[in-house]
Amino acid sequence: MYSSSLTSSTQTTLNDFKLDGMMIRYSQFVPRLYNFCLSQGMEPGKIMPSRAFCSDESQGFPIILLAKQFGAFPFNHGMVGGIVSTGRHGPHASHGEDLMIIQATHVGYEPENQEFGIYRRIQTNDCHHSSNCGKIAGTLKWYLDEYKFACENIYLEKDSHGQLQISINNLLLHKEREEGLILDLDKLIAIDLNGNAQLIRSLSTARCFKASPAFLKNLKSVVDNWPNGKKIEIGDLLTPELFKFRRQINDEVEGPGHLEKNLIEPMPWIVTHPAPTLASAQILTQIEFDRTYRTIINESGYKNHNLIFISGLNIDISPRNDQIFPLTKFVPWAAFIQKTDGSHSILEQQELYDALMELEVHNEKQINLEHEIQIMEETDEVQISYDFLLNR
């Protein structure tokens, strides 16, 4: 299965996905997106939009806006979590002359307490909050629990001579485990000249070692002020560079484990992030754009078509009790543009944002949904004949 090579560069990768100054209200983003399609040579009335969104009801408002602005209900390219179903490229290509795909992973946001990852469910009796995106939150739970256990079961202590010792739960010392948080022990524990860990003593459920010089160096400003004999949990001093995760995951591309497979490599940076669901959604968006654009290039059905594939993040602002829809914001990440002659290009985040913001919000071709529904209601009924089936 495809996996982005996110290792120690994950923090940089996350930082490159800018949020500040990049958010566009959906009611202003979608008409700009439509006008962007026109600016790339697409013909009004011949554009078949497609969306790769999660199935969450919070994604309904963006879909309605896409239908209104493009004049066609968008094709469905998405699976839970905003994963792109690339096997649907061919059918999508046959449904329009010009083609637009928007992929967006989503994350909830509660403005009252400025918390990412939750969303008010106004259709419930008590309008309670729940996870958003639920697929991402459900995937993260095991990893967050593993990290929490490690943070609470590794202890740092200065002995009577001021030397730092590290006590590690026995479970965490088993590097051969098939699943779990796997410590990079060489970065935590001092090793003698023979290559052996410098064990100080064995405890009932843990072992105590002399801390490695490299770990000590990184903690110098923290531990210099500790009194001798003080023992503390390692907590957030267990940074992403000190561990990784191992788990048995279904490797099938776009299968049940696809989302988790995308996230497991950068997971140490996700579980230590102040907003893990937000970090997950950003990383998923980046990986899905890279993966999907490569499949688009190789899709025969898309040859000789104008095509735009745009990827970004949907931030679902939790609705008040008196609101029906969220005030969703879109954060663009990148866009792939293909012309009928096969030439193509990519717009990176700032370029894409600037290109969208240069365009008008007004779209004279937008449809009046109420009016179109009324026309459908007033049109003479079409009788469906099936007599030929009865005469077989």
Tell me the pLDDT band of 158, cut-offs 50, 70 and 90.
confident
Q: Is the pLDDT of residue 3 over 70?
A: no
pTM: 0.90
CA distances from 257 to 80, 146, 160, 280 (A): 11, 19, 49, 15
Contact 324, 117 (CB under 8 A): no
Tell me the pLDDT band of 4, cut-offs 50, 70 and 90.
very low
More confident residue, 191 or 220: 191
Query: How much is the pLDDT for 130?
Result: 86
Closest by CA position to 239, among listed 259, 218, 211, 222: 218
pLDDT tens profile 250-280? 888 889 999 999 999 999 999 999 999 999 9
pLDDT tens profile 347-384? 999 999 999 999 999 988 888 888 888 888 888 888 88
In this prediction, residues 181-193 reach a mean pLDDT of 93
Query: How much is the pLDDT for 385?
Result: 82
Tell me the pLDDT band of 8, cut-offs 50, 70 and 90.
low
Residue for token pair 């994950």: 10
150: tokens are: 């490690």
Beta strands at 199-202 and 206-210: parallel, antiparallel or unpaired: antiparallel
Quick one: DSSP state of residue 17? S
Tell me the pLDDT band of 168, cut-offs 50, 70 and 90.
very high
User: Which of 48-52, 126-130, 218-222 has the lowest average pLDDT?
Assistant: 218-222
Contact 167, 154 (CB under 8 A): yes
Tell me the pLDDT band of 163, cut-offs 50, 70 and 90.
confident
More confident residue, 138 or 219: 138
Closest by CA position to 209, among listed 182, 177, 234: 234
Contact 295, 318 (CB under 8 A): no
Contact 273, 140 (CB under 8 A): no
Distance CA 381, CA 379 (A): 6
Cα–chain center distance at 104: 8
- Single-letter amino acid code for the residue at 38: L
pLDDT tens profile 62-98? 999 999 999 999 999 999 999 999 999 999 999 999 9
Q: Is the pLDDT of residue 2 over 50?
A: no
- Average pLDDT value over all residues in the chain: 91
In this prediction, residues 234-246 reach a mean pLDDT of 95
Query: How much is the pLDDT for 1?
Result: 39
Tell me the pLDDT band of 322, cut-offs 50, 70 and 90.
confident
Q: For residue 133, is the peptide bond before it cis, meaning its omega torsion is within 30 degrees of 0?
A: yes
CA distances from 267 to 25, 126, 139, 274 (A): 30, 34, 11, 13
Query: How much is the pLDDT for 372?
Result: 83
User: Which of 9-18, 40-49, 68-77, 205-214 has the lowest average pLDDT?
Assistant: 9-18
User: How big is the chain by its Cα radius of gyration, in Å?
Assistant: 26
pLDDT tens profile 101-128? 999 999 999 999 999 999 888 888 888 8
Q: Is the pLDDT of residue 5 over 50?
A: no
Q: In what order do the strands lie in the sheet with 206-210?
A: 199-202, 206-210, 164-169, 154-158, 231-233
